[in-house]
Amino acid sequence: YVRGTRGTITYINPSVGGWNSADGVAQYDTDLAPLIARYGCDLFVLAFGMNDAGGAPRTIAATQKKILNRVLEQSPAAGLLIVSTMVPNPDATNGWYGNQEKQQKSLQSLAEDMRARNASCAVACMTSVSKAVLEHKSFRDYSGNNINHPNDFFSRVYAQCLLETLIGYGNIR
């Protein structure tokens, strides 16, 4: 909880390392539904992708749509923020590099579909951001493990991208 002069923010992170979006759907009733029922949901952030490397982008977006639909069933006024994943190390030979960079376009289409249903939905395009950074930096400069995890620097870049997507830098006072 964070209590301020304008209210209280309850932040819950039920994520589980190693899960893919199908795991999120499978565990929704156990892990997410009770939290939303208890606390409500003003903003729901959905950030799968890295562990969905082998899936077709449309399939991954359809799986994520199931989660978003469930959130809106429980909390119809919730804002939805989908985060596309950073790309893993393109030079790694460990099998991590897959369809991650192809997912963002399908997620943007998903957000458009959600908005057509009058849901407030946006995509934080970390795939594009990570690819742009790769044009100027070595992957190991912003990775914590040189495979698929951001380091502290790139975690801040994630935060900046989320902030820009949510409110835009022009709205910060």
Rounded distance, CA 122 to CA 39, Å? 22
Mean pLDDT, residues 42-56: 90
Angle at 157 between CA 146 and CA 61, to 5 degrees: 80
- Residues 120-158 have pLDDT tens digits of 999 999 999 999 999 999 999 999 998 889 999 999 999
pLDDT band at 112 (very low <50, low <70, confident <90, very high): very high
**pTM for the full predicted model:** 0.90
pLDDT of residue 90: 83
Angle at 165 between CA 163 and CA 168, to 5 degrees: 70
pLDDT of residue 52: 87
- Residues 85-110 have pLDDT tens digits of 999 988 876 677 778 888 999 999 99
pLDDT of residue 171: 53
